[in-house]
Amino acid sequence: MQEFHKYRSVYGHEELMARLRRIRHVALDMDGTIYMGMSLFPFTKPFLAGLREAGIGYSFLTNNPSKSIADYLHKLETLGIRATHDEMYTTALATIDYIRTQHPAAKRLFLLGTPSMISEFEAAGFESAADSPDDVPDAIVAAFDMTLRYDRLCRAAWWISQGVPYIATNPDRVCPTDQRTVLVDCGSICACLAHATGRRPDITLGKPDPNMLSGILHRHGLEPDQIAMVGDRIYTDVQMAHNAGAMGVLVLSGETTLDIADRAETQPHIVADDIGVLGELLREAHR
């Protein structure tokens, strides 16, 4: 990789500028990229304003299904960012879309998720199966559940061991936070269930699954090389960009350190300190 002051790239400077001039849309991870917990990064608002000035669209993608779209929009507004429903896509929505197409007869779901996420599924027409051995669900959905109870974890393990279709919303091991704790995420919950049952999810949605980007590409009539996927994780954000043929930008404002990036098998097209640095590069490319 070629070294620069606040970023580095697998491309030389001229090729990087040419590729950035192709970018018409930026898909933004949220936790660790535009904010940390309830702390908005100081460079986020100027970055978004710069995209609007350059005529570059943007969307917010998150592997965190713990909040509904309405909750996310409210959180963004609380942080000073106004966004629309069409600018949001979560793994809860991706899971709903997947079940509708791949398991169209499924109605009752055993949901390991927050009340906010469960409300998203119920609003989409699904029913929550009870925590009972007599209420057999059509499918199990494991998610980032910050309200996780031991009895429900055990019930999920039972249905998993019985061969019920089993879907994970996202592969993340931890969720970034500005608090002095570790937020155990869906991937780690599924690792616990795998250790107990010997079975892994039938499918794990969310990043790095390239389908998380396909809706944006279709909605805006874009080619893969016209979108940049920006996030703080290599194994989800950057890997999805590679899987979709898009530009992968790693920011060091969240989970991943430069040392981890150096050792990664999948290399980002750009490594930047934060999205503010990416904004500078885009401004230079689009002059």
251 and 163: one domain? no
199 and 134: one domain? yes
Among candidates 63, 93, 95, which has minimal Cα distance to 203? 95
Which residues have C-beta within 8 Å of that of residue 183, sequence separation ≥ 6?
146, 174, 175, 176, 177
CATH of residue 129's domain is: 3.40.50.1000
Domain that holds residue 195: 92-204
pLDDT of residue 218: 81
Task: Tell how far CA 115 is from the center of its chain.
Answer: 19
185 and 253: one domain? no
Query: 33 with 230: CB under 8 angstroms?
Result: yes
175 and 213: one domain? no
54 and 152: one domain? no
pLDDT of residue 226: 98
Q: How many domains does the chain have?
A: 2
213 and 185: one domain? no
> CB atoms < 10 A from the CB of 246, how many?
26
pLDDT of residue 4: 44
170 and 211: one domain? no
pLDDT of residue 5: 57
Question: In 3-state terms, what secondary structure has residue 154?
Answer: helix
pLDDT of residue 2: 43
Among candidates 210, 174, 175, 215, which has minimal Cα distance to 191? 174
| Cα 189 to Cα 8: distance, rounded to the nearest angstrom | 34
Residue 160's alpha-carbon distances to 60, 66, 138, 189, 191, in angstroms, are 32, 21, 11, 13, 13
pTM, entire model: 0.79
Of the three residues 204, 233, 263, the one that is the final residue of a domain is: 204
| Cα 80 to Cα 46: distance, rounded to the nearest angstrom | 12
| Cα 139 to Cα 111: distance, rounded to the nearest angstrom | 9
pLDDT of residue 3: 45
Of the three residues 204, 227, 262, the one that is the final residue of a domain is: 204
CA dihedral (42, 31, 180, 278) positive or negative: negative
pLDDT of residue 204: 93
Q: Is the residue at 34 inside a domain?
A: yes
Tens digits of pLDDT across the chain (287 residues): 444 459 999 999 999 999 999 999 999 999 899 999 889 999 999 999 999 999 999 999 988 899 999 999 999 999 999 999 889 989 998 899 889 989 999 999 999 999 999 999 999 999 999 999 999 999 999 999 999 999 999 999 999 999 999 999 999 899 878 789 999 999 999 999 999 999 999 999 998 988 788 878 887 899 999 999 999 999 889 999 999 999 999 999 998 999 999 999 999 999 999 999 999 999 999 98
Query: 177 with 214: CB under 8 angstroms?
Result: no
Q: Is the residue at 173 inside a domain?
A: yes
Q: Is the residue at 236 inside a domain?
A: yes
Whether residue 208 has a cis bond before it, omega within 30° of 0: yes
Of the three residues 204, 221, 243, the one that is the final residue of a domain is: 204
Structure tokens belonging to residue 53: 């000035």
